[in-house]
Amino acid sequence: MRASFHIFTDRLLLPLLLLCAGSVQAACQRNGTRDGTLDLALTMPNIDRPDARFAGGGSRADDAFNCTLGTEELMVQMPASGLTYVRDIVYEARTYPAYQTSPRSPLLIFNHTIGDLAGDNYERTPLRAGEVTRSQFVPKTAGLLASVVNVYAFFRGGAMESIPATSLGTLEVWSQSDPGNRVRHTVSVQLTVPVLTCTLSAADHTLDDVSANALASAGDTARESAFGVSMNCPSANVHVDLSVADANAAGGTNGVLALATGSTAEGVQIQLLQAGAPVQFGSTWSHGFSLKGVQAIPFTARYLRMPSALVPGTVKGEAVLTATYR
């Protein structure tokens, strides 16, 4: 007897369940319609303290974002209207680009802060004008968070000039997970800085004696020599304009000083020159930007023979130097 059998094997197919672990991403959503506005108006002293902070202010939009836990990236777009980069400044352990609105204005830095400003649940990011800045934020607690743009004024070093009321434009802030809904911060600044002045000291200058032969004809000059008027400025970069007037006569021309009390000579007067040319009384010229401390304003003086008869004696002239500032 022959027996046979077959063993049938059923395959048991087990579904494979793959569990993939990944990072939990936050989702910050725009909450409501609150935006922020900053009209920063300050009066700051005109002192020489390079890169020292004076004061600032913030454009605050409370409860601007509703965030869950996890890592979120915010984008901040800052316009560059009216701002020129000057240098980097380190403030509160962060490096900030600092900007001017004019060649002698105070310096401005900017940052964006998101978070619960009552505690330590926030992130602060320096901003660069004309760029979109990416800010990574890991909230410690979920919920409603404020969006703030801060502006700080710094001393630039040397004399400064005021910033008139100036709009710096509108900064936009959005969550990478919600790019269509943006918080807007409109910012303007006005910084009033008093004008610095310098001190001028009186100067006496004596020309060497001259013989009548050296001044034989009208228009002859002799014994030209240089001297300086001392000017003391509290800071560098004070913009100084200068003018000269005859102390004893109005309407003098060509730098020729009227004979002052004590003169005994006739037919000769003192001619005052600046930068090699006769001073034009009443006209203003730019001395430019000052140095800090004492500096000399250079002049030269010489004898000038006049058309009238020459009588030997003493010649004296007096001038008034006036400085104006801007």
Give the domains, in start order, of the chain with CATH numbers: 29-192 (2.60.40), 199-325 (2.60.40.1090)
183, 245, 171: which is closest to 28 by C-alpha?
183
What is the number of other CB atoms lying within 10 angstroms of the CB of residue 77? Answer: 17
What is the number of other CB atoms lying within 10 angstroms of the CB of residue 305? Answer: 20
pLDDT in tens, 113-125: 998 877 778 889 9
Checking if the pLDDT of 32 tops 70, the result is yes
Cβ-contact 306, 233 below 8 angstroms: no
Q: How confident is the model at residue 26 (pLDDT cuts 50, 70, 90)?
A: low
The predicted pLDDT at position 15 comes to 43
The predicted pLDDT at position 252 comes to 85
180, 182, 109: which is closest to 149 by C-alpha?
109
pLDDT in tens, 153-175: 999 999 999 999 999 999 999 99
What's 212's DSSP letter?
G
Tokens representing 263 are 């003169």
pLDDT in tens, 63-103: 999 988 888 889 999 998 899 999 999 999 999 999 999 99
The predicted pLDDT at position 10 comes to 40
Checking if the pLDDT of 218 tops 60, the result is yes
pLDDT in tens, 232-254: 999 999 999 999 999 999 878 99
Residues 6+ apart with CB under 8 A from 22: none
Checking if the pLDDT of 177 tops 90, the result is no
What is the number of other CB atoms lying within 10 angstroms of the CB of residue 22? Answer: 5
CA R_g for the chain: 37
Beta bridge pairs of residue 150:
58, 111
Query: What is the bridge-based pairing of β-strands 94-100 and 84-91?
Result: antiparallel
3-state SS, residue 152 = strand
What's 215's DSSP letter?
G
Checking if the pLDDT of 3 tops 70, the result is no
With b for 16 or more beta-carbon neighbours within 10 A and e for fewer, the 38-70 pattern comes to: bebebebebbbeeeeebebbbbbbeebbbbeee
Checking if the pLDDT of 11 tops 70, the result is no
The predicted pLDDT at position 81 comes to 87
**CA contacts within 13 A on the Cβ side of 237:** 14
Please state the length of the chain: 326
Q: How confident is the model at residue 139 (pLDDT cuts 50, 70, 90)?
A: confident
Averaged over 286-308, what is the pLDDT? 95
Amino acid letter at 2? R
Residues 6+ apart with CB under 8 A from 9: none
Q: What percent of the chain has pLDDT over 90?
A: 79
Averaged over 4-32, what is the pLDDT? 50
Q: What is the mean pLDDT of the chain?
A: 90
The predicted pLDDT at position 219 comes to 95
The predicted pLDDT at position 25 comes to 53
